[in-house]
Amino acid sequence: MRRAAIAGFALIALAFPAAAQSTADLDARVAGAQRAAGALSTQLGGQLRHALNTVGPVGAIEVCRSVAANIAYTISLETGWKVTRVGTRVRDPIIGMPDAFEQKVLLDFARRLDEGQNPDTLLHAEVVEEPQGRYFRFMKGLPTAEPCLTCHGSALRDDVRAALAQSYPHDRATGYRAGELRGAVSVKQKIE
C-alpha cells in the first residue's frame, strides 16, 4: 500500500500499476469529489434555509425528505459517481445508512472532532478494493450547525416532533449538540 498527501489530507491508495493511477489522476479525483460534496452541501443548505425562512421547520422537513435525495441524484447523474449523505444516527434507514467503509470514516471524523480538529478539515479519500472492483472513496464530514438543531437537536417543538414521526417512523437522527458530527457527504467512484 502507498500513502500520499493530497489536497492537505491523507490519501490511502492500494498498489496499482503506476500508469493506471497517477498522482495527477488521484488529485483530479479528490478535486472532483470535493466539488460534488460541496455542491450537495451548498444546494441543500440553500434550499433548507429558504424553507426554514418561508414555511418554517415543519415545511423544511419535506425539503430534507424529497429535495435532498433529488439533489444527490442529479449530482450523481452529472458526475457518474454515487453522491449521497450518510448519518451517524440515521433518519431514514433506506437512504442514509452508512456502509462499513463509511462507518469507519465516521468514527474517525468523530474522534478528530473530539480532539479539537477544525470541522472544515474532516476529509477522507481512499482507494479501496471491494468485491465489485476498485473504488475511489471520498467523505466530507457534516458537523451539526445551530440551524440543524431545529430538527436534529434534543429540544424539538411538538409540531416538528410530530412531523418527523409521520415522515420518518424509524428516525434516530435527533439529540445532537451543536458541533457534534451528524454525518458526511460520501462520494464513490468506480476505477476502471
Three-state DSSP string of 5-16: EECCEEEEECCC
Is 168 strand, coil or helix? coil
Distances (CA, A) of 35 to 16, 28, 43, 83, 140: 25, 11, 12, 11, 11
Which residue matches cell numbers 431545529?
A: 150
Which residue matches cell numbers 452541501?
A: 41
Q: Which residues contact 30 (CB under 8 A, 6 or more apart)?
A: 6, 7, 11, 125, 138
d(CA 88, CA 169): 17
Indicate the DSSP class of residue 144.
P
Q: What pLDDT does 135 receive?
A: 96
Which residue matches cell numbers 469529489?
A: 33
Strand 2-6: give its sheet, edge to edge: 2-6, 9-13, 123-130, 133-143, 181-190, 82-87
Residues of the chain with pLDDT under 70: 1-21
Q: What pLDDT does 192 receive?
A: 80
Is 25 strand, coil or helix? helix
Q: What pLDDT does 15 receive?
A: 39
Q: Is 32 exposed, middle or buried (0-12, 13-18, 19+ CB in 10 A)?
A: middle
- Kindly report the pTM of this predicted structure: 0.87
Phi, psi angle pair for 23, to nearest 5°? -60, -35
Q: What pLDDT does 21 receive?
A: 63
